[in-house]
Amino acid sequence: MERSGTRDVAVGLFLLAGILAAGFLSLRVGGFTLTKPDTITVYASFDEIGGLKPRAPVVIAGFKVGEVRSIDLDQNSRARVTMELDAEQKYPVDTSASIVTSGVLGDRYISLQLGGEDDVLKHGDTIQYTESAVLLERLLGKFIHNADVGGDPK
């Protein structure tokens, strides 16, 4: 077999490029983590989560500070969201969490408004102040209902 140095280098580069691309997709896109950055787990319950999904971002003023880990029902049949937040950031205990939408029909995510208290949320705490997702259908329904009431009789 002809020993070709350039060919071997090319194969090596190709394999490297492929593995890097695969790695990029796994880590930066798919969110595969080998080491867990320091996070605290925090809970919040909502009446309505809309289309909020696990892995949705949690942001403060648009800056991502965490992710939704999972969603389940609590004892009062409200949706309880489990979030993992960056432990470096401090979250006062009166911080509120609202579910907002990216655009009108976009993905749902959680936006935090930091409170003013000195005490901060610890691992396992629950956020007390929550604002549920606004469902477009309900909004339209209200609009139509109001229009009916104030408008022409049928």
Partner 1 sequence: MLGPVREMGFLASSFVVSLGHLGVFAGRVLAALVRPPVRVRELILEIYKLGVLSVSIVVVAGLAVGMVLGLQGYSILARFGAAESLGSVVGLSLLRELGPVLTALLVTGRAGSATTAEIGTMVATEQLDGLRMMSVDPVHYVIVPRALGLALVMPLLSSLFITCGLAGGWVVGVGLMGLDSGRYLSSLQASTEFVNDVVGSFVKAAIFGVIVGLVATWRGWRSEPTSAGVSAATTSTVVIASLSILLGDYMITALWGL
Cα maximum dimension of the chain: 91
Distance, CA of 54 to CA of 75 (rounded, Å): 20
Interface size with partner 1, residues (CB under 8 A):
33
Q: Does 144 bind partner 1 (CB under 8 A)?
A: no
Tokens of 153: 């009789």
Shortest approach of partner 1 to residue 117 CB, angstroms?
Answer: 29
Nearer to partner 1, 10 or 139 (CB): 10
Instruction: Compare residues 1 and 149 and give the one whose CB is closer to partner 1.
Output: 1
Q: Least distance from C-beta 39 to partner 1, angstroms?
A: 16
Q: How far apart are CA 150 and CA 154, in angstroms?
A: 11
Angle made by CA atoms 113, 98, 101, in degrees to the nearest 5: 115
| d(C-alpha 109, C-alpha 81), whole Å | 11
Residues that bind partner 1 (CB under 8 A): 1, 7-8, 10-11, 13-15, 17-19, 21-22, 24-26, 28-32, 53, 55-57, 64, 102-107, 109
